[in-house]
Amino acid sequence: MDRHDLADMTAEQVAAAHVRDLEVQGKHGVQFITYWFDAQRQHAFCLATGPEKEAVDAAHREAHGLVATQVIEVDEAAVLHFLGAFMQHAAGEPYVETAFRAILFTDLEGSTALTQKLGDADAMSVLRRHDEIVRSALAATGGTEVKHTGDGVMASFRSVAGAIEAAVLIQRELAVAEKNGLMPLGVRIGIAAGEPVTERDDLFGTAVQLASRLSSRAAARSILVTSAVRELATGKGFLFGAPRTVRLKGFDQPVSAAEVIWQQANSS
């Protein structure tokens, strides 16, 4: 996958550049599978197969001269998990689709001691109930489960609003289960957002790390989001607590974050 930082390009121009890529790809042993173009951010991402990074660069250079800012090796299945099904359009057909995603992590508080406290069967029952609630919320909000972490779930969304809506729904359903004596543990949720190729040369590296660390830092039964997620959700009907800075493992600088007030949040 590669990333192009563009300037003043239209969807029609990017579509034309993709056509030129297809025309020369065979000469370089490369196959361009699909691309995403965010007109507002002027970012484009290409997913391609090839013998090496240099071959992808060479194909771009011959086709139109728009050499990628970054090229990283990725697993196609991982890209599918993060970004969802590939959009297949006729070559030359202009379209805009952002590769920006919101990342959500759930984390069962005290899950390590759960088995000792409840026993294997009851502990697995609690985990299954968590999984059912989370997956139901993802289905209702357009989220994609990326992986199960053992004591939580990692998911991606096409918008921060979808991620927050899912998180609110998860906490509300968990609260009902807890009230009925079916969920003895609280769940922590963290949300961050970003694009697939980062400065750390990793697929969603920074966003994934942030969301994961926020879920670990959040209090039980709460939702903690980055300031960027909070700002992008402005006007979407969600309520937030006061911004605060938190220190997260693996990050040199404090991170600005805020809690979603899910007991009163009204997403619309």
Contact 31, 48 (CB under 8 A): yes
Give the predicted TM-score (pTM) of the model: 0.87
**What CATH number labels 2-83?**
3.30.70.3090
> Is the fold of 2-83 the same as that of 101-259?
yes
pLDDT at 265 over 50: no
pLDDT value for 200: 63
pLDDT value for 177: 94
Each domain of the chain, given as residue ranges in start order, spans: 2-83, 101-259
pLDDT at 137 over 80: yes
Query: What's the mean per-residue pLDDT of the chain?
Result: 89
Q: Which amino acid is at 25?
A: Q
* pLDDT class of 267 with cuts at 50, 70, 90: very low
Contact 196, 45 (CB under 8 A): yes
Residue 87: DSSP 8-state: P
Task: Name which CATH class applies to 101-259.
Answer: alpha beta
Separation between Cα atoms, residue 117 and residue 32, nearest integer Å: 52
Separation between Cα atoms, residue 5 and residue 199, nearest integer Å: 13
* pLDDT class of 79 with cuts at 50, 70, 90: confident
* pLDDT class of 198 with cuts at 50, 70, 90: low
Residue 26: DSSP 8-state: G
The more confident residue out of 121 and 17 is 17
* pLDDT class of 268 with cuts at 50, 70, 90: very low
Question: What pLDDT digit, counting tens, does each position of 208-239 carry?
Answer: 999 999 999 999 999 999 999 999 999 999 99
> What value does the mean pLDDT take over residues 233-258?
92
β-bridge partners, 101 = 194
Name 15's Cβ contacts closer than 8 Å, sequence gap at least 6: 91, 92, 93, 94, 95
Separation between Cα atoms, residue 191 and residue 257, nearest integer Å: 10
